[in-house]
């Protein structure tokens, strides 16, 4: 459920891996619909590579919350956001413990 209105910043932080693959593009569409002109969409999630980190992420979520997770390729997320008219301002990745995080900053022009 999304709140009413348009926002200067919408954050999708560690959300995508909880969304089934058939609904992942729709999540980006919904986030974009709530983004004001000039607004920023912050996206961060777990990476599907390297495989050992991906499997460690998978095991952690299974043990901690009892859920199986679904990775989205960052290139797919970028393509979905661009299809919604967003501009990619920045992207990156980093490792913390066994996690690999990937992130993007999108802007609605």
The DSSP secondary structure of 56-100, one letter per residue, reads HHHHHHHHHH--------HHHHHHHHHHTTEEEEEEEEEEETTEE
Q: 4 burial class (0-12, 13-18, 19+ CB within 10 angstroms)? A: exposed
pLDDT of residue 59: 93
Domain ranges of the chain: 7-108
Q: In the chain, which residues have pLDDT < 50?
A: none
pTM of the model: 0.93
pLDDT of residue 1: 80
pLDDT of residue 24: 98
Dihedral, 63, 67, 68, 74 alpha carbons, nearest 10: -100
Q: What's domain 7-108's architecture?
A: 3-Layer(aba) Sandwich (3.40)
| Residue 100, strand partner residues | 95
């Amino acid at each position: 459920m999304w709140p009413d209105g348009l926002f200067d910043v919408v954050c999708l932080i560690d959300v995508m891996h909880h969304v089934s693959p058939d609904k992942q593009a729709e999540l980006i569409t919904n986030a974009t619909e709530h983004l004001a002109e000039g607004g920023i969409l912050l996206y961060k999630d777990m990476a599907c590579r390297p495989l050992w980190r991906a499997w460690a992420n998978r095991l952690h979520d299974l043990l901690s919350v009892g859920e199986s997770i679904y990775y989205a390729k960052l290139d797919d997320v970028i393509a979905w956001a661009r299809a919604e008219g967003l501009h990619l301002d920045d992207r990156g990745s980093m490792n913390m413990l066994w996690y690999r995080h990937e992130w993007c900053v999108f802007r609605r022009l």
